[in-house]
Structure formats: C-alpha cells, structure tokens
Structure 1
Amino acid sequence: MNMKWLLISLLLLGLVSPSVEAEQSKRLGPWEVHYNAFNSTLLRPEMAQQYNLERNAYVATLNIAVLAANEAGKPAQQVSVSGYTMNPLSMQSRLEFQEVIEGDAVYYLSQAEFTANEVLRFFITIEDENGNSQELRFSQEFWVN
C-alpha cells in the first residue's frame, strides 16, 4: 500500500466507527479504484454533519477514491464520478456524489436508500478530464442496524 493511499485510508477511517468493513479495490484501466459502502449509522455524528451526510438505518454511504495504478506515490486522482444503484426489483436510483479534498486525499461520497436486508447493485462511471472512462460494478447487502 503506497503512502498516499494510507493517508486516504486513515482519513476515511476517521469518518466511521471502528466496526466498518475494510475497503475493496479494483484495477480499472489506468486506475486503482478503492471503494467501500456501509450503513450510514456507522458514521460518526460530527463527520456526518461536516459532510452533510444523513445518518439513517435505511441509508447506505458510498466512498470512492481513485489512484493512478502505475505510479507509486501518486496522489489520488480528481475525476468525474456518477452512477446509480439497482435494487432486487431492478428499480434504479441515481447517486449524487460530492468531491472531498483533504490535502493530497481526494474521495467521492454518495448515499443510497435501501430496505431491510437488501442487496444493492452499484454501477459507477469514472471519467477523467480527457474523456477516458471506466465502470465500477459491485453488489453489497445492507442490513438495518
């Protein structure tokens, strides 16, 4: 793990309580995309307020950071992030992302509603300033807590 990602990870861990699952990552073209999704009730109240995020048993929080895959020590990339979720009934909900910049760390936050014990499929498009884009897809089950 390079030093820049370590910084991002530490900043993100400060957003949530200690019981949050570890982040996941995927190599997408020129990027290493780190992401995690968790129940928003795990957000510390002061961090939720700072980033204008809702804390609700039926709301998931999504966090994405994009790093250059081939450049060790390269800071997080500023990109355009958009996407949607799909529930088991194939109903789509658009995700609205906010960019957060803290020093060299750049990450993108969004929230999505879910029902009790529901699997959401995430479809996230990441695009750079040159129009190069990649799609991140993953599924996650959410529980009300």
Structure 2
Amino acid sequence: MKHALVGALTIISMLLMPGTALAEQSKRLGPWEVHYNAFNSTLLRPEMAQQYQLSRSETLATVNISVLDAATAGKPAQQVTLSGYVMNPLSQQQRLEFREVIEGDAVYYLAQTRFSNLETLRFFITIKQGDETHELRFHKEFWVN
C-alpha cells in the first residue's frame, strides 16, 4: 500500500510538474474540476514508463487526466468513463484509449497517441459519470526531442 501511494505521488508530481514542458491545465466542467496535460513520452523516466505500462518514443504523446469533485474541495470524483479522440491539422482522427489508474486516493487516466514534429493536436475527450456528461477540449503543440 505504501509503495503504491509513493508510486502514485511520484507519477502525479512528474505528470503535473510546473514548467513549460509539463504545464498542468485545468477546467471546470459542471461539477468537476478536470486537470489535464499532454507531453512527449520521452519525458517519462524509463522505470516510470515500465511501471505504468506506457511506451516511450520521440513521436508518442502521453495524456494524463484527473477528474476531481469540485464540491468536495478537490477530492477525487467517483470513477468516470473517458472516451475521445485526437485530431491533427489535416483533420485525421486517432481514437484515444484511456487506462484508469487507482493508487490510494489518487484516480487518473492515461492514454497515448502519435504525433509528427511541430504538430498541433486537438483533443476531444468526453467525460461521463451517471447522467452527467461533459466534453473537454484542448490543443497542444508537440515536437520531437
């Protein structure tokens, strides 16, 4: 249990680290505060990528989303369902397949997608819990490290 909590805190702090490369963003969507970021997978340390079953590649982006219940001072929301896709500048779409990670009190969702150098991807992610559904939209420019 303690090892899982340390692992969760490590990846969350890595994924939500302030700075240009991994700047965290958030949006209020209905009853949720949704924290999200997307970054080049080479920024993950190899042992972290292995632990969370993520691939590392110069042309592979990692998406991290955490959905918090805004009414309970940021405590994790009940489990949500995420689906969505990413669109490149040519309007080609790639489906995102999210994997839920639960470690202690932390709940977050990870997905990966391919990109080309200096490509801006647009993300369209549907978040659903019971009768509540909202769409998170954001864009991010990626480059090969």
Give the TM-score, by structure 1 length.
0.87
Q: Tell me how far apart the structure 1 counterparts of residues 140 and 112 of structure 2 sit (CA, whole Å).
A: 14
* Structure 2 unaligned regions, length at least 5: 1-7
Alignment of 1:76-87 (within 5 A): 76-87=77-88
Q: Give the equivalent residue in structure 2 for 1:107.
A: 108
The structure richer in helix per residue is 2
CA shift in 2, pair 1:116/1:84, >3 Å: same
Q: CA deviation at 1:88?
A: 0.2
Q: CA deviation at 1:137?
A: 0.1
Q: Tell me how far apart the structure 2 counterparts of residues 131 and 9 of structure 1 sit (CA, whole Å).
A: 31
CA shift in 2, pair 1:28/1:73, >3 Å: closer
CA shift in 2, pair 1:74/1:17, >3 Å: closer
Q: CA deviation at 1:10?
A: 5.5
Identity of aligned residues (%): 67
Q: Tell me how far apart the structure 2 counterparts of residues 73 and 85 of structure 1 sit (CA, whole Å).
A: 27
Output the amino acid matched with 2:104.
Answer: G
CA shift in 2, pair 1:79/1:70, >3 Å: same
Post-superposition Cα deviations, 1:120-144, rounded to whole Å, max 9, x if no partner, equal: 000000000x131100000000010
Give the length in aligned residue pairs: 137
Output the amino acid matched with 1:140.
Answer: K
Alignment of 1:1-145 (within 5 A): 11-14=11-14, 20-72=21-73, 74-128=75-129, 130-145=130-145
RMSD over equivalenced CA pairs, Å: 2.0
Q: Tell me how far apart the structure 2 counterparts of residues 39 and 68 of structure 1 sit (CA, whole Å).
A: 28
Output the amino acid matched with 2:68.
Answer: L
Q: CA deviation at 1:41?
A: 0.2
Q: Tell me how far apart the structure 2 counterparts of residues 73 and 65 of structure 1 sit (CA, whole Å).
A: 10
